[in-house]
Amino acid sequence: MRFLQKIIRIIHFFRDENVAWYKKLLFAIPLIYLIVPYDFIGDFFPVAGQLDDIAVFVVMWPFLKSMMDNYQEPTSKDEDNIDKSDSINLNKDDYDIK
């Protein structure tokens, strides 16, 4: 997935009313921690100050990735009205290349 598509999906995640507020908060914690200048261990300690920033992302990354993989974006009503009977689904792996 392209970087811009991931950003758009994250924006949809935060704007989606069906996503619980605590999931949005858990997703935002690492971002807030990176932006806010207060850390568990200050950055003025060499190496240790940067390691706590990295540790937050290492611990939270699997959870955030699984949350975004499970997130289904709401479909717009316009997409439901489109006739897709003659379209090709490129996500299916049922074609042969000769």
What's the confidence (pLDDT) of residue 53?
75
Number of domains in the chain: 1
What's the confidence (pLDDT) of residue 40?
65
Q: Is the pLDDT of residue 64 over 60?
A: yes
Does residue 77 belong to any structural domain of this protein?
no
Distance CA 19, CA 13 (A): 7
Does residue 62 belong to any structural domain of this protein?
yes
Residue 83 backbone class (left: φ over 0; alpha: ψ -120 to 50; beta: rest) = beta
84 burial type by CB count under 10 A (0-12 exposed, 13-18 middle, 19+ buried): exposed
Helical H runs in the chain?
Answer: 3-15, 21-35, 48-70, 77-80
Does residue 63 belong to any structural domain of this protein?
yes
Does residue 48 belong to any structural domain of this protein?
yes
The predicted model scores a pTM of 0.57
Give tens-digit pLDDT for 12-58.
888 988 888 998 888 888 878 777 767 666 667 777 777 877 787 78
Find the domain containing 45 and state its range. 3-72
